[in-house]
Amino acid sequence: MRRWIMHVDMDAFFASVEQFDNPDLMGLPVIVGGQSDRGVVSTCSYEARVYGVHSAMPMMEARRLCPQAVFLPGRMKRYQEVSREIMTIFDSFSPLVEQLSVDEAFLDISGMELLAGSERDIGFKVKRSIKEKTGLTASVGIAPNKFLAKLASDMQKPDGLVVIRAEEAEVMLKPMSVRRIFGIGRSAEKSLLQFGIETIGQIADADLGILRKALGNNAALVKQLAHGLDDRPVVNDYAAKSIGKECTFEQDLHTEDERRHAVLDLCGRVGWRLRRSGVVGYTVTLKVKFASFKIITRSITAEGPVAYDEEIFALAQKLMQSVKWSEGVRLLGVSVAHLEPANAVPVLNFSEDERLGKRNQAVDILKAKFGEDIIKRGF
């Protein structure tokens, strides 16, 4: 039986929900995120992307690039409601659904073509079901593995459907930039360029020894991906789990420094738990309980897996910028969800990841020997 993995990614999810709920926003640049100048963009419509706006961009920069946009604070409960409808649709097409975030998932549809038509037919049916149920569009990628499926879903956005077959994968990958491989960022790209490697095809053809000089321990895995190979399974047992830590304070926190120190400590504790459990995660959630007992949560999904304290804190800081700190804080919590076994992740952040790894490993050794409270990180 041929293996088929589908990756479904909703198009500009938060902004699309806002446009669907308010038709007056259709065709307008819509930017969803923290409204203060220190806030960040959560999602923006494709009309806003024309002006260079993108997710995780500082809101101040987004306002400069597209001052005529409609700026909205976001409605997480509404987005989660729509997300549940979408995930229910996925469950009707496959027993193996790996949810990555509120708007993104892998489905293993191997063998389903015997019941529902070709793999392309199934893709169209999923897209049509989402459109009929929610009024929204999704981009779908279908391929023999996760790497290619995720790559395919991004090739014809928005509202795309791309199927990559095993026999055509390597030829298709050959001219693509190395940045199209999951986990290759600017640092890794720069290292590869020192050896004249710019394309995925050049990675596939490169000597493994050269790749090790540029990419370290990830070289063999990257070379495998460059050939279009990836044997990670779709796993739905980790998707619902999370690892987190929260703290109720004896006295309410009122200053930015107090909150940052508290969140930094929580990120260190969560990172320690992730690494001790041998998992990585994709979605970081910040929980805040104010002095009035009002509770809010904010979440952000990373492009790649996180497990190190610094990575978690960087995302938590972005979430903190989206919170209106109008009163004292009684409780703070940090959690990481959409977990995956660390050894199932093909690529991390290469040289920078190795530096983070060594620092975190040193901290982990101390914590394992003397307990979790033996060391705290500073800014």
Where does CATH 1.10.150.20 sit in the chain? 169-226
The DSSP bridge pattern shows strands 41-44 and 5-10 to be unpaired
Predicted TM-score (pTM) of the model is 0.71
- What gap in Å lies between CA 146 and CA 152, rounded to an integer? 10
Which candidate in 47, 104, 119, 340 is catalytic? 104
pLDDT tens, per residue, the chain with 379 residues: 689 999 999 999 999 999 999 999 999 999 998 877 777 898 999 999 999 999 888 899 999 999 999 999 989 889 999 999 999 999 999 988 988 888 999 999 998 766 667 899 999 999 999 999 999 999 999 999 999 999 999 999 999 999 999 999 999 999 999 999 977 878 889 989 999 999 999 999 999 999 999 888 788 889 999 999 998 888 876 554 789 999 999 899 999 999 999 999 999 999 988 888 888 888 899 999 999 989 999 998 887 788 889 999 999 999 999 899 999 999 999 999 888 777 665 554 544 555 666 566 666 565 554 555 555 555 4
What CATH number was assigned to the domain covering residues 1-164?
Answer: 3.30.70.270
CA angle 187, 283, 233 (to 5 degrees): 85
Question: Could you give the CA distance from residue 197 to residue 214 in angstroms, rounded to a whole number?
Answer: 10
Give the CATH number of domain 242-370: 3.30.1490.100
Angle at 230 between CA 227 and CA 231, to 5 degrees: 140
Residue 282 and residue 104 in contact, taking contact as beta carbons nearer than 8 Å: no
Label each residue of 71-115 as H, E or C. Answer: EECCCHHHHHHHHHHHHHHHHHHCCCEEEEECCEEEEECCCCHHH
Instruction: From 226, 234, 235, 338, select the one nearest 3 (Cα to Cα).
Output: 234
Query: Residue 369: is it exposed, middle or buried by C-beta count within 10 angstroms (0-12/13-18/19+)?
Result: exposed
The reply, when asked if residue 9 is annotated as ligand binding, is: yes
Among the listed residues 67, 68, 40, the one whose alpha carbon sits nearest the alpha carbon of residue 54: 40
Question: Per the annotation, does 364 bind a ligand?
Answer: no
Looking at the chain, the domain(s) classified CATH 3.30.70.270 span 1-164
Q: Catalytic annotation on 104?
A: yes
**CA dist., res. 125 & res. 185, Å (int):** 34
Please list the residue range(s) of the chain that carry CATH number 3.30.1490.100: 242-370
Q: 308: which DSSP letter?
A: S
Q: 169-226: what fold?
A: DNA polymerase; domain 1 (1.10.150)
